[in-house]
Each structure stands twice: as structure tokens, then as C-alpha cells.
Amino acid sequence: MNTQATDILRAFAALVDEAFAVPHGVRAVVAPDPGRAVELLTAGQMGALAVVVFYEGDTAAGEDHWDPRVQATLRAVVWRRQGMGAGGRDYEALALAEALRRAVRGADIPGALGGPAYMGMQPIQTMEGRLLEGYSLKFSVLYADLAG
């Protein structure tokens, strides 16, 4: 079944929401583009958990230019907003990132040609290089793009 990037992103966001965010008392938010991810992370109540997903990019999965398979890179970012209410909560960033990874890796994504493959994790930071209390997890998803 062929699909498109926006459908894969929506399905990935629904998976992150159901498997991780909702059980942790929040909802996953979809960033319409990577540049908006930081804006969405920093919006909201201080001390609260934030989960943002976005489509980072993709590459052709086949050697033949007629091959419709696409290898998409998707990000799921988990962050605890800093503030007065942040202290004393059981929201350690690494533990949350590990829980997110376990919840998402290999799960079913409608429209994809297999579940998300875990590709790594890195801390999130500001443009100035200040580390934030959170991680960005990278997943790869294979799907067949719509034929033009």
C-alpha cells in the first residue's frame, strides 16, 4: 500500500501518543516542520512533560529511481520544561527517553513497510549550546511513496 510522508508522520505521532505520551499524562504534539519543534517544546506549563514528533527527512530506499520505497527519518523528543514545579518529580530525562524507545521500537505503523527502527538518541540543546533536560530519539520507517 502506497502512502505519503504526512500520513506516516500522523501514524507515528499516534503511536507515540498511545504507547508513551498518554500513559505519562500528556499528549504528543506534531511539529509541522523541524523548526517548529523547539517552539512547541517550550510552550506550555513549566515543570510539565512535553513530547513532540516531527519528520526530519527521507532518502530513496531503492537503487532504481522508479522504486517508490522511501526511508523516512522521524524524531520523537521528550523534554521536561524547567521551572518551579519541576523539582521532586519522577521524570528523569534518560528514564523517560528509554521508556519512549521501548514503547515505539518495532511497533506497527499503518501504511509503513515495517515498524520503526531505533537509530539513536541525543540530548537536546538551545541554539547557544545549553543542554536541556530531555532527549531526541531518531527512528527510521520504510514506506512506499505515492506514485506521481
In the chain, what is the greatest distance between 2 CA atoms, to the nearest angstrom? Answer: 55
pLDDT of res. 82:
65
Q: Report the share of the chain in percent with pLDDT over 70.
A: 86
Q: Who wins on pLDDT, 62 or 47?
A: 62
Query: How confident is the model over 28-49, as a mean pLDDT?
Result: 75
pLDDT of res. 15:
97
Q: pLDDT per residue over 51-96, tens digit each?
A: 999 999 999 888 887 888 999 999 999 987 765 444 445 558 899 9
Q: pLDDT per residue over 14-25, tens digit each?
A: 999 999 999 999
Q: Which residue from 117, 148, 116, 134 is spatially nearest to 11, judged by alpha carbons?
A: 116
Q: pLDDT per residue over 124-138, tens digit each?
A: 887 788 787 889 999
**The pLDDT of residue 6 is above 90:** yes
**The pLDDT of residue 46 is above 70:** no
Residue 10 CB contacts under 8 Å (≥ 6 apart), including other chains: 30
Q: Report the share of the chain in percent with pLDDT over 90.
A: 53
- 146 pLDDT band, cuts 50/70/90, is confident
Q: Who wins on pLDDT, 42 or 106?
A: 106
Task: Sort 95 into a burial class: Cβ within 10 Å, 0-12 / 13-18 / 19+.
Answer: exposed
Bridge partners of 73, per DSSP, are: 57, 140
